[in-house]
Amino acid sequence: MKSKKNWKDISDSEILDQLKEARKNLRQLRFDYGVTRTLQNPSQIRNLKKKIARLLTLKRERELEKGK
């Protein structure tokens, strides 16, 4: 996982790509859990949700900066 400093360095298109990929992975993990009721690493879901929140926050910060 990237540190906070490195999160600021990624481009807008890279943010969208990572957001799309994280949502896809989260959807797959939730589906797998719903079908099998077991996960190798249950903390993956929590970590993906946090990553999505970080990316959305960064995206929103940039939108607000452009609006000023």
**Number of domain units in the chain:** 1
Handedness of CA 34, 41, 48, 29 (dihedral sign): negative
**Which pLDDT band holds residue 9 (cuts at 50, 70, 90)?**
confident
Looking at the chain, the whole-number percentage of residues with pLDDT higher than 70 is: 93
In a domain, 52, yes or no: yes
* Residue 4: predicted pLDDT: 58
Angle at 38 between CA 37 and CA 44, to 5 degrees: 115
Domain residue limits at 33: 11-67
In a domain, 4, yes or no: no
Cβ 8 vs Cβ 58: under 8 Å:
yes
In a domain, 18, yes or no: yes
Smallest Cα–Cα separation from 19: which of 63, 65, 50?
A: 50
- Asked if pLDDT for residue 35 goes beyond 50, the answer is yes
In a domain, 21, yes or no: yes
Smallest Cα–Cα separation from 61: which of 23, 2, 10, 1?
A: 10
- Asked if pLDDT for residue 52 goes beyond 90, the answer is yes
